[in-house]
């Protein structure tokens, strides 16, 4: 992940080198890490951030700059760095800490996540209420909502989803992100954020928590995001209402591109891989 990018573009290689000085071995994990290693959120988060900031550096070097920014979950930290809320190195230190804290929280309980397809949000919310400890967490796009909960409840929950006419797909993660199971991580991360110097963004930055541009304390928004649902569909609809009509996904895949196309087919949603093939796939 990112090796072709670093091999071709000096500005990308320099980003990886700077982050290696902060967290030795990050580029090796990106370039040669096993799937098992990269599934550990303490590794996933720094590696994805490093790749996304390397892509951003390449685009900035060609004077391709966004007029607004948003990120899904971890990606909101990348978006904050791209918006100028803090510098890339500060953002990297934050995601390293975020990944470690969320990993520690994940290891205290046997939890999991799953995507629920083909059901409206209120139906999924109703099913969750029948399973204490199961939470709707990521409101992705029409017909797709992610849930977090105890691993031992997932089978029965999936049967309830099927009975309601939906479909459940387990996700390849080992924790119940964006749910109360992450409370310990959120509290500790808030302390780190409150000690971090932050600025007003240079461009509008949209929050997963509120689905609106940042107007309040960034530390509070980023801390609460860990234990709160990602309101991605509402966020994208707000950006469209605010005048955004073209979205570029800065990352190794096109998951968000596909979500945006489902949210509003009339807007343009594209993956950066179209103009920068070295960014992926991975």
Residues recognised as catalytic:
73, 178
Measured between alpha carbons, how far is 28 from 91 in angstroms, rounded to an integer?
20
Q: Tokens 């080992």 identify what position?
A: 174
Measured between alpha carbons, how far is 195 from 180 in angstroms, rounded to an integer?
24
């Amino acid at each position: 992940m990112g090796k072709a990018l670093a091999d071709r573009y000096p500005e990308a290689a320099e980003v990886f080198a700077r982050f290696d000085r902060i967290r030795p071995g990050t580029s090796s994990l990106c370039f040669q890490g096993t799937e098992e290693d990269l599934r550990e959120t303490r590794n996933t988060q720094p590696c994805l951030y490093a790749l996304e900031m390397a892509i951003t550096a390449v685009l900035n070097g060609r004077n391709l700059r966004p007029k607004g920014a948003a990120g899904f979950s971890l990606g909101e930290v990348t978006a904050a760095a791209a918006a100028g809320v803090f510098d890339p190195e500060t953002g990297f230190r934050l995601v390293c800490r975020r990944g470690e804290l969320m990993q520690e929280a994940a290891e205290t309980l046997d939890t999991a996540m799953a995507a629920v397809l083909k059901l409206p949000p209120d139906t999924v919310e109703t099913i969750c209420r029948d399973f204490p400890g199961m939470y709707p967490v990521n409101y992705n796009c029409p017909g797709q909502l992610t849930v977090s909960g105890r691993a031992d409840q997932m089978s029965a929950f999936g049967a309830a989803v099927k009975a309601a006419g939906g479909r459940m797909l387990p996700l390849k993660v080992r924790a119940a992100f964006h749910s109360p199971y992450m409370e310990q991580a959120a509290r500790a991360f808030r302390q780190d954020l409150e000690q971090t110097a932050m600025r007003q963004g240079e461009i509008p930055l949209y929050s997963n928590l509120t689905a609106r541009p940042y107007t309040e304390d960034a530390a509070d928004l980023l801390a609460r995001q860990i234990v709160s649902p990602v309101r991605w569909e509402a966020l994208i609809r707000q950006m469209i209402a605010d005048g955004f009509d073209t979205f570029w996904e800065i990352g190794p895949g096109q998951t968000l591109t596909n979500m945006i196309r489902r949210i509003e087919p009339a807007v343009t949603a594209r993956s950066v891989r179209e103009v920068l093939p070295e960014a992926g796939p991975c």
